[in-house]
Amino acid sequence: MLSSRHVLSIADLSADDIARVLETAESFAEVNERRIKKLPTLRGLTVINLFLEPSTRTRTSFEIAAKRLSADAINFSASASATVKGESLRDTAATLGAMACDLVVIRHRFAGAPRMLADMMDCSVVNGGDGMHEHPTQALLDLYTIRQRLGKLEGLRVGIVGDILHSRVAGSLVRALRIVGATPVLIGPATLMPSRPDVLGADVVLDLDEVLPSLDVAYMLRVQSERASGMPFPSVREYAALWGMNAARLGALPSHGIVMHPGPMNRGVEISADVADDTRSLVLQQVEAGVAVRMAVMYLLLGGADSGAAA
């Protein structure tokens, strides 16, 4: 079990919760390597994916995770425009409640929408990404991936590079890294830094090349043009030259250093094509970890820990 019945923010999780999720995900990762990848653990339970923002990989990942645990996974499509108002989200919550679902995964363009939904519903709610706020399961799968490759989390220096301002991935990852004793370093143009980075509790460095040799992980963020108002940097070429990961910069990382990206990647902008495909880039390992970690979150939230069926 986890200490909260929802996962809306990394702040809902204690250090013990995070350790439990990572440990449980490890046993599910083994299941995912078998030919028959299905466990009966959540048979009879219903998981609804309420994705009101475009998403392929995260929605698919949650859907596969639910199905591998034998839950009935349903993609509930409501038009984003019908649910932008609080009143409409209330109607959606009532509708989902009447369908007696056990867990709702919500992605919404407004920060705080998952919290509203959780307050209005009896079932568990998982935040699949809300506005520029948080994306907690992404941070959990990132921790899993880092630990799998580097063998530990405590004491690592993780540079989060690029569009911090608009990134819910960064919002969750900074919090999660601090809980596990790693040091997040925010790196990027001043125009893409939040106005109060100190609130997040991370150091800020404006020069990527200066900091690379001290990093264990370079976590590249997607430039979120759809969220930016105006042009926060002169050109894509300049962005790539100053902030993009490329072969020369990969060489400047320590030899054990790794590169990560939450996807979808803008090849040639925040990451060059050759680095994206390099063995030190863990992008696909992150996607793989996503399924196991989301299985673990669902299992722990829905009381699966009592049945002892993880193995």
Residues that bind ligand NCD (CB under 6 A): 57-58, 129, 135, 138, 168-169, 222, 224, 262-263
Closer CB to ligand NCD, residue 97 or residue 263? 263
Closer CB to ligand NCD, residue 115 or residue 168? 168
Closer CB to ligand NCD, residue 129 or residue 184? 129
What is the rounded CA–CA span in Å between residue 193 and residue 187?
A: 8
Q: Name the minimum Å distance from CB 292 to ligand NCD.
A: 16
Q: Residue 247 corresponds to which tokens in the numbers above?
A: 């072969």
Q: Name the minimum Å distance from CB 224 to ligand NCD.
A: 6
Q: Name the minimum Å distance from CB 291 to ligand NCD.
A: 13
What is the rounded CA–CA span in Å between residue 21 and residue 284?
A: 20
Q: Name the minimum Å distance from CB 154 to ligand NCD.
A: 26
Q: Which residue is nearest to ligand NCD (CB)?
A: 222
Helices (runs of H) and strands (runs of E) counted in the chain: 12, 9
Q: Name the minimum Å distance from CB 58 to ligand NCD.
A: 4
Task: Tell me the β-bridge partners of 219.
Answer: 160, 260
CA atoms 257, 253, 206, 272: torsion sign: negative
Closer CB to ligand NCD, residue 27 or residue 60? 60
Closer CB to ligand NCD, residue 108 or residue 135? 135
What is the rounded CA–CA span in Å between residue 275 and residue 47?
A: 37
Which residues neighbour 96 within 8 Å (Cβ) at sequence distance 6 or greater? Answer: 48, 50, 76, 104, 121, 123
